[in-house]
Amino acid sequence: MLGKTAGGLFWMFRYLERAEHTANLIEAGLRIALTRSIADDGDWVSILQTAACLDGYKEIHTDSPTRDQAIDWMLRGAENPSSLLSIIHTARDNGKMVRTAITRDVWEAVNECWMVIKSSLARKVQEHDLPQVLNLIRQRCAYVRGALHGTMLRNDIYNFSRIGTFTERADNTARLLDVKYYILLPSATAVGSSLAPDRS
Q: Which alpha helices (DSSP H) does 98-184 contain, by range?
A: 104-120, 130-151, 156-180
Confidence (pLDDT) at 36: 72
Taking only the tens place, the pLDDT of each residue in 146-196 is 999 999 999 999 999 999 999 999 999 998 888 876 555 555 555 555 555
Task: Answer yes or no: are the C-beta atoms of 179 and 54 closer than 8 Å.
Answer: no
Task: Answer yes or no: are the C-beta atoms of 20 and 28 closer than 8 Å.
Answer: no
Looking at per-residue pLDDT, the higher value among 140 and 66 belongs to 140
Taking only the tens place, the pLDDT of each residue in 119-147 is 999 999 999 999 999 999 999 999 999 99
| H/E segment holding residue 68 | helix 67-76
Confidence (pLDDT) at 193: 59
3-state helix, strand, coil in the chain (%, to 5): 75, 0, 25
d(CA 194, CA 192): 7
Confidence (pLDDT) at 38: 66
| H/E segment holding residue 87 | helix 84-97
pLDDT at 1 over 80: no
- Domain limits of the chain? 3-190
pLDDT at 14 over 80: yes
Neighbours of 91 (CB within 10 A): 25
Confidence (pLDDT) at 190: 55
SS3 100: coil
Task: Answer yes or no: are the C-beta atoms of 72 and 122 closer than 8 Å.
Answer: no
Letter string b/e over residues 128-165, b meaning 16 or more CB atoms within 10 A of that residue's CB: eeeeebbebbeebbebbbebbeeebeeeebeebbbebb
Picking from 108, 87, 114, 102, the residue whose alpha carbon sits closest to that of residue 172 is: 87
* DSSP letter (8 states) at residue 125: P
Looking at per-residue pLDDT, the higher value among 13 and 60 belongs to 13
CA distances to 43, 80, 167 from 69, rounded to whole Å, are: 13, 12, 29
Confidence (pLDDT) at 37: 63
